[in-house]
Amino acid sequence: MKNEKLTMKIDEILDILDKIAPFELQEGWDNSGLIVGSKEDSFSKVYLSLDVDSKLIENLEENSLLITHHPLIFKGLKQINYDHYPSNVIKQMIKKGISLISMHTNYDKTYLNRYVVQTVLGYEVIKCEEFVCYFEVEDKFDNFAKNIQEKLKLPFLKIVEGKDFIKKAAITTGSGAELLNDIEADCFLTGDIKYHQAYEAKENRLSMIEIGHFESEIYFADSLSKNLKNFDIQAIIANSKDPFTYK
């Protein structure tokens, strides 16, 4: 089925998405799955995005489906205040009949890290363990870091140099610095690295490259689009924008 003629129910595509990345794999604190809408709702177009914001919703057609990586709601809302996020976006979605499904930690474990390593960075994956994928590098740290900056289009390079030569590297897209003590590699690539985590890594001779949360996970839409084509579903990539600006 081509997207312009697509007519499906939410229940049908949930089954497809579950085949791609089973929702049961999500972490206990996660909220992947149907966020806004009903399983009986029908839609005619599918949009893919890392996040959801009011500007993105303005540009989506009515009665469509949005699939995001990050869930709009992580914890229970105590009030629906239309003056604040995420309630303002939920209001927009309901008015336009837009349904929302999120694929977060279940997709991280099954596809996103591997996709970034192989398709974006151009390395061969050695193995993947939960949220961490390992790959061979065999290069000087400076060369490796510059290559990562170029491939991920990082606005600047923020590094911790623990070793000057990298045999093997590990990656966790998004925010994964809390995993650094479990990393068995010469360099760890992840986003949202805190000061004390960087200090610990340097003392333990583990190099790190800050790859940004947005910059490392923006490829969610590209990878899911390719997966959906295997089910004859053509999705529209309508990625949200990075909330940060760099000057």
For the cut 80, the answer to whether the pLDDT of residue 6 exceeds it is: no
For the cut 80, the answer to whether the pLDDT of residue 1 exceeds it is: no
Count structural domains, the chain.
2
d(CA 57, CA 45): 13
* pLDDT > 70 fraction of the chain, expressed in percent and rounded: 98
The DSSP bridge pattern shows strands 65-68 and 99-102 to be parallel
d(CA 55, CA 24): 31
| More confidently predicted of 3 and 44 | 44
Residues 100 and 118 in one domain: no
For the cut 90, the answer to whether the pLDDT of residue 2 exceeds it is: no
Q: Output the domain CATH number for residue 209.
A: 3.40.1390.30
For the cut 50, the answer to whether the pLDDT of residue 230 exceeds it is: yes
Residues 91 and 158 in one domain: no
Residues 64 and 26 in one domain: yes
Per-residue pLDDT at 5: 57
Query: Which long-range contacts link 175-183 to residues 24+ away (Cβ below 8 Å)?
Result: 175/213, 176/131, 176/132, 177/208, 179/131, 179/132, 180/206, 180/208, 182/132, 183/132
Domain span at 189 = 107-216
Residues 98 and 125 in one domain: no
Q: Which residues of 68-104 are buried (b: 16+ CB within 10 A; e: fewer)?
A: bbbbbeeeeeeeeeeeeebebbbebbeeeebbbbbbb
Residue 3 — very low, low, confident or very high, per pLDDT cuts 50/70/90? very low
Which residue type does 46 have?
V
Residues 51 and 95 in one domain: yes
Contact indicator for 21, 59 with CB cutoff of 8 Å: no
Residues 60 and 84 in one domain: yes
Report yes or no on 243 lying in a domain: no
The DSSP bridge pattern shows strands 65-68 and 46-49 to be parallel
CA atoms within 13 A on the CB side of 244: 10
d(CA 12, CA 130): 27
Contact indicator for 52, 68 with CB cutoff of 8 Å: yes
User: What's the whole-number mean pLDDT along residues 162-176?
Assistant: 97
Residues 63 and 120 in one domain: no
Residues 114 and 210 in one domain: yes
Residues 199 and 132 in one domain: yes
Residues 90 and 131 in one domain: no
In a 3-state reduction of DSSP, which class is residue 129?
strand
Helices (H), the chain: 10-20, 54-58, 87-96, 105-107, 113-115, 141-152, 195-203, 213-217, 220-229
d(CA 133, CA 113): 6
Residue 166 — very low, low, confident or very high, per pLDDT cuts 50/70/90? very high
For the cut 70, the answer to whether the pLDDT of residue 4 exceeds it is: no
pLDDT digits (tens, 9 = 90+) for 96-144: 999 999 999 999 999 999 999 999 999 999 999 999 999 999 999 999 9
Residues 119 and 205 in one domain: yes
pLDDT digits (tens, 9 = 90+) for 34-92: 999 999 999 999 999 999 999 999 999 999 999 999 999 988 888 899 999 999 999 99
User: What's the whole-number mean pLDDT along residues 197-207?
Assistant: 97
Whether the predicted model's global pTM rises above the 0.75 cut: yes
Largest CA distance in the chain: 57
Residues 111 and 201 in one domain: yes
Beta bridge partners of 99: 65
Report yes or no on 230 lying in a domain: yes
Q: What is the DSSP letter of 117?
A: I
